[in-house]
Amino acid sequence: MRVGLYPGTFDPITLGHVDIIRRAAALVDKLVIGVAINRDKGPLFTLEERVAMIEAECAKLSAETGTEIIAHPFENLLIDCAHDVGAQIIVRGLRAVADFEYEFQMVGMNRALDDTVETVFLMADARRQAIASKLVKEIARLGGDVSKFVTPMVNEALKDRLHRP
């Protein structure tokens, strides 16, 4: 069984993430969405909320693709998380050249730790390249419409968190 790991903070999950998940699901038998516990980033949503959003969105994708897709919180090294979930492939989404420079360094370090785990890069769909969770949160925080960047469920969660008492 080919297992892939798509790691990220997913704070919140965006349509760009959903696009990468859908496309990655075509490459593997099982896709694990590694939800990073990154206290330094000061996430807007709790780990539990992020996992719940991912599980809700991925249930639909799993039914569409026939690929098992699960959420897996992690706080250890990415390569150790890959071992924990039995992943042979790490999936990373790229939006721009700047992403590649950072990801290239990460691949080098991960390969130095374990050269049996491959990293696969998927380019963001052209319609989704500008989407970044950080920007989505900022737009939502300032009262802008983020419905073009997130699913309706995530849009409501952002409104609830940022604008409802």
* Residue 134 is labelled as binding a ligand: yes
Single out the residue of 103, 101, 70 nearest to residue 85, CA to CA. 70
Distance CA 157, CA 52 (A): 11
In the residue annotation, 41 being an active-site residue is answered as: yes
Q: Say if residue 103 carries a ligand binding annotation.
A: yes
151 appears as a binding residue in the annotation:
no
Contact indicator for 126, 42 with CB cutoff of 8 Å: no
Is 127 annotated among the ligand-binding residues? no
User: Which entry of 23, 95, 141, 161 is annotated as an active-site residue?
Assistant: 95
For this structure, is 133 an active site residue?
Answer: yes
- Is 144 a known ligand-binding residue? no
Check if 95 is active-site. yes
147 is in an annotated binding site: no
| C-alpha span between 90 and 76 (Å, rounded) | 15
Q: Is 17 a catalytic residue?
A: yes
| HSE (side-chain half, CA atoms, 13 Å) at 23 | 16
Q: Kindly name the residue from 17, 30, 50, 137 that is annotated as catalytic.
A: 17
- 30 labeled part of a ligand binding site: no
Contacts of 129 (CB under 8 A, 6+ apart): 16, 95, 96
| Binding-site sequence positions for ATP | 9-10, 17, 93-95, 103, 128-134
| Binding-site sequence positions | 9-10, 17, 41, 78, 92-95, 103, 128-134
Residues with active-site annotation:
17, 41, 95, 133
| Binding-site sequence positions for substrate | 9, 41, 78, 92
